[in-house]
Structure 1
Amino acid sequence: MTNQGMHTGGNDTKIRDTGAQDVVMNTTPRRKKIKLLFTAAVLVIAGVSANAFINSSDASISMARSAVQIATVERGVLMRDIVATGRVVAANAPQLYSPEKGFVNLQVKAGEDVIQGQIVATVESPELDNQLKQERSELARLEGEFARQELDTRRQTLTITKQADLAKLDLVAADREHRRAQLSIKDHLINQIDLEKAKDELARAQVTFKHAEQEVELAKDTLAFELESVRNTIERQRLVVSELERQVEALTIKASVNGMVGSLFVQDRALVAANDTLMTLVDLSAYEAEINVPESYANDLGLGMDVELKLANRTVTGSLSAISPEVTERQVTARVKFDHDASMNIRQNQQLSARVLLEQRQDVLKVRRGSFTQAGGFVAYRLDGDVARRIDIRIGATSMREVELLSGVQPGDQLIISNYDEFAQAPAILLR
């Protein structure tokens, strides 16, 4: 039966087709549904495949490769070092003190340039000035006493010398009378009694002269001793005066170095006590670095160790020259000597960073340092394709950049060096 009209009987009746009743169906939602079903099927298949892969590789955790840090194990030189911070200090920064109690007169200001020997302050000490005057007066009195003692010594020496000379004359006269008596007895001019008397006079004169000589020597020694005693007293007094003069001269305080005035600790015309700090001078020709090292590395430090210092954009090399014996705020202070010149424009208290080179180890297995060392240094994750497997390792020496590996790895192995907290001690990790 067609859509064209059919003859029924004799009447030409025309039947209409059903085209007007047809409805155009929209197939787009159906196609979308088919696509969604296809995508879901693909995801399910991928998930099943991934799960099967994970199960087949013993991997229990999966994470993106970009979320971890990977480094390669190498064999080479490991330089143990310590990174520290510090500042530039003057190698020679002497402090000046008040030598005595008094009023200080400052001759310079903070930041002012000074040269060695320049007067920077004076201290007025009336007590010291008065004491010096008294001691000088005592010295003058002793010197006058010494001069008088010398005169007395000369007078006494003259007296005893005169007595000795008179005794000698008596001896000569007694000897002459004795000889005359001997001649007279031969001629029977005198009797025996007169001869014996002449002998006695001669003997008396000899004894007198002998004692006179001894008295002269003893008197000279005594007078010389007394003079020497007075002379020693004078010398001692001169030392007292000299010391006081030195103290008075020290009241004029002079710069001990070429440089500048760093800090003033007193005001002008202030009353200061003995040994009070007046100011600090800074020698601008010699600088050192003062660095602070964590106390955990204190036992590793040694005098003469090489140190790399970074000042602004310049790196210089120095050596440890001093290490503090005490720990302050869990840090040890060390001094570093380094070569410098005027072109470096170094300033006092300028901040710097330092790298202390502790030790150089040759031919060791090493890997870049990372957070994995926080796990205790006994485990690591080594890559095997896309799977990182947990292995046992042993860590040796460490530096700020690298870590020595004593066992568990070979050169060329790749290790995850980032933090292992997210791994939950899994035996294997899939990296996608």
Structure 2
Amino acid sequence: MPPTEQRPPVSRRRLGIFGVVAGIALVLVVITGIRAREDSSTKLKEWTDNQAVPTVAVALPDAKVVNPTIDLPGRLEAYYRAPIFARVSGYLKSWSADIGARVKAGQVIAEIEAPDLDQQLLQARADLASQEASAKLSEATLTRRKTLIASNFVSMQEIDERSADLSNKKAAVNSGQANVERLEALAGYKKITVPFDGVVTARDTDVGALINAGGGSGPAMFVVSDISKLRVYVNVPQNYVPSIKIGAKAVITMPEYPSRTFAATVEASSQSVDISSGTTRMQLALDNSKGELMPGGYANVRLTLQSDTVPLHIPASALIFNQNGLRVATVGADDKILFKPVTIARDLGREIEIASGLAADDRIIVAPPDGIADGDKVRVAGAGAKSKPEKVSEKQDVKG
């Protein structure tokens, strides 16, 4: 048999090199796996953090005037109105003007029968005649006495007494004459006359009615109103008063004329605030030369507001009201939340007019999500992320 071939023995050195290489490979595999898991964890954490940052839509406050008017209820009143009371007591003898009658200044519309006054006037005239006769007799006596001074039949003392008596009699005549004139003037008030051109808007008397002199014992006999021009009274909330100037124009609408409007002008302001309502009363003048409008009627008054500054408007959805008050969430240059307290000037429905608290370049969150707080990081979506966001009036209102 041939001799058996024997393989040369593997050197221990080669075995050692092989083991080192295998160990290095194993370590590399382990390190690669660990790094892959760490990278995966880091990416997952970054993705989770990114998902936790809320995405918001922002807009700049709109500085365009949306509606420079305000609608308020008003009340029409006659420009001149005179309740007519009697100056003398008696019974109504007659009247000639009923409600709705157009009357002229000085026109007699009623007459009062006053027998007591007539008798007082007769007595006063009789007293005056008696006083005049006494004064005439006293004057004649004094004249005769003066002719006897030269013959020493009368003394200067008697002359002085007669002169004083004549002065008293003349004073009594003047007093009686004044009393007669006073009663004659009162007798003239038995005829009720109209103070100015107008319309009889009320009559609260009739023939035979007992008339009491003065204005504190009952309603007026007649009320005469000049309705060719009307006053419109409106109560303006205090915060709008500075925006309504004297001379400003207003538009009046009436329920009886739903398709028509009437022009009015602001004439006066009470310059005070009613503490019970927080409003200031303003007076407007309204031409009514055609007599179409009636005093006492209700009117809707649309006033033009004038402001030295252009107000800012934001969507109603941007407001946040909680225990911290009324605020708006804005996004700063570092994309972090900053709450700003605001005050409202007017609620226009879908839009709010801001009185204070915001600047024109503030980026407001149109619909702030729940749970956000000051300093929170947000992601700005849309055009506002990298450039100037649109104004509220240039885009649709965003909800939710």
TM-score bracket, normalised by the shorter chain, equals 0.5 to 0.7
In structure 2, relative to structure 1, the CA distance for the partners of 1:233 and 1:366 (3 Å cut) is: same
Cα gap change, 1:342/1:416 in structure 2, threshold over 3 Å: closer, same or farther?
farther
Q: Against the structure 1 CA distance between its residues 379 and 305, is the aligned structure 2 distance closer, same or farther, given a 3 Å change threshold?
A: farther
Which of 278, 285, 308 in structure 2 is aligned with 1:361?
308
1:240 aligns with 2:179: yes
1:378 aligns with 2:326: yes
Give the C-alpha shift of residue 138 in structure 1: 0.7
1:321 corresponding residue in structure 2: 268
The corresponding residue for 2:72 is 84
CA gap 1:158/1:97 in 2 versus in 1, 3 angstroms: same
Among 116, 121, 146, the alignment partner of 2:110 is 121
Q: What residue identity is the alignment partner of 1:94?
A: A
Aligned to 1:308: 250
Shift of 1:231: 0.7
SS of match in other structure, 1:342: coil
The correspondence for 1:142, drawn from 131, 144, 148, is: 131
CA contact 2:81–2:226 (8 Å) conserved in 1: yes
Corresponding position of 1:273 = 212
Deviations 1:119-147 (CA, angstroms, capped at 9, x unpaired): 11222222222111111111111111111
Match of 1:410 in 2: 360
- How far apart, in 2, do the equivalents of 1:254 and 1:243 lie? 19
Q: Given the superposition, is the C-alpha separation of residues 297 and 365 from structure 1 closer, same or farther in structure 2, using an over 3 Å criterion? A: closer
**2:296 aligns to what?**
349
Q: Secondary structure at the residue paired with 1:286?
A: strand
Specify whether residues 414 and 397 from structure 1 end up closer, same or farther in structure 2 by C-alpha distance, changes over 3 A only.
Answer: closer
Distance in 2 between residues matched to 1:75 and 1:333, nearest whole Å: 28
1:122 touches 1:252 (CA, 8 Å); kept in 2?
Answer: yes
Q: Paired residue for 1:74, among 62, 81, 88? A: 62
| Partner SS state of residue 93, structure 1 | strand
Asked if the contact 2:265/2:284 (under 8 Å) is kept, the reply is yes
State the AA in 1 paired with 2:268.
S
Q: Is the 8 A contact 2:330 2:362 kept in 1?
A: no
Structure 1 residue 99 displacement after superposition: 1.4
Q: Return the offset for 1:228.
A: 1.8
Aligned residues: 315
Query: What's 1:254 paired with?
Result: 193
Mean alpha-carbon deviation: is it higher for 388-397 or for 129-138? 388-397
**Structure 1 pair 405–305 and aligned structure 2 pair: CA distance change class (3 A):** same
CA contact (8 A) 1:73 1:415 kept: no
- State the 1:115 CA deviation: 0.6
Instruction: Output one character per residue of 1:3-50: Cα deviation in whole Å (capped at 9) or x when no partner.
Output: xxxxxxxxxxxxxxxxxxxxxxxxxxxxxxxxxxxxxxxxxxxxxxxx
Pairing 1:94–2:90 present: no
Between 1:121-130 and 1:388-397, the stretch displaced more is 388-397
Q: Is the 8 A contact 2:329 2:340 kept in 1?
A: no
Q: Percent identity?
A: 15
Q: What corresponds to 1:154 in structure 2?
A: 143
Alignment partner for residue 58 of structure 1, among 50, 54, 59?
54
Cα distance change on mapping 1:153 and 1:261 into 2, 3 Å? same
Please report how far the alpha carbon of residue 249 of structure 1 lies from its aligned counterpart in structure 2 after TM superposition.
0.7
Contact 1:81 1:399 in 2 (8 A): no
> Is the contact made by 1:71 and 1:415 (CA closer than 8 Å) also made in structure 2?
yes
Aligned pairs for 1:150-229 (under 5 A) are: 150-163=139-152, 215-216=155-156, 219-229=158-168
Q: Which of the pair has the greater relative contact order for Cα pairs under 8 Å at 6+ separation?
A: 1
CA distance in 1 between partners of 2:252 and 2:49 (Å): 52
Please tell me whether Structure 1 or Structure 2 has the larger radius of gyration of its CA atoms.
1
Any conservation in 1 of the 2:328–2:364 contact (CA below 8 Å)? no
CA 58–303 in structure 1, closer or farther in 2 if over 3 Å, else same: closer
Q: Report the Cα distance in structure 1 between the residues aligned to 2:111 and 2:273, rounded to whole angstroms.
A: 37
Contact 1:87 1:351 in 2 (8 A): yes
Q: 2:345 & 2:101 partners in 1: Cα distance?
A: 48
Contact 1:81 1:356 in 2 (8 A): yes
Give how far 1:351 is off.
2.9
Q: Distance in 2 between matches of 1:98 and 1:347?
A: 26
3-state secondary structure, aligned to 2:80: coil
SS in 2 for 1:74: coil
CA contact (8 A) 2:267 2:285 kept: no
The 1-side partners of 2:292 and 2:224 are apart by 19
What is the CA–CA distance in structure 2 between the aligned matches of 1:331 and 1:380, rounded to whole Å? 27
Q: Unmatched 5+ residue regions in structure 1?
A: 1-51, 165-211
Counterpart for residue 13 of structure 2:
none
**Matched position secondary structure for 1:111:** coil
CA-based RMSD: 4.4
The 10-residue stretch of structure 1 (332-341 or 138-147) with the greater mean CA deviation from structure 2: 332-341
Structure 1 counterpart of 2:253, which letter? L
> Which residue in 2 is equivalent to 1:44?
none
Check conservation: 1:303, 1:321, Cα contact below 8 A.
no
One-letter amino acid of the counterpart of residue 73, structure 1: P
Q: Which amino acid is the alignment partner of residue 375 of structure 1?
A: F
1:383–1:326 CA distance, 2 compared to 1 (3 A): closer
Whether 2:231 is the aligned partner of 1:288: answer yes
Q: Which amino acid aligns with 1:352?
A: A
TM-score using structure 2 length = 0.63
Encode CA deviations 1:156-204: one digit per residue, 9 max, x unaligned.
Answer: 122224338xxxxxxxxxxxxxxxxxxxxxxxxxxxxxxxxxxxxxxxx
Q: Counterpart of 1:201?
A: none
Q: Take 1:325 and 1:392, find their aligned partners in 2: how far apart are those partners?
A: 36
CA distance in 2, matches of 1:416, 1:220: 109
Amino acid of the structure 2 residue aligned with 1:314: T
Distance 1:56 1:409, change over 3 A: farther
1:301 to 1:395, Cα distance in 2 relative to 1, 3 A: same
Higher relative helix content:
1
**Separation in 2 of the partners of 1:132 and 1:120?**
24
Question: Once the 2 structures are TM-superposed, how far is the Cα of residue 82 of structure 1 from its aligned partner?
Answer: 5.6
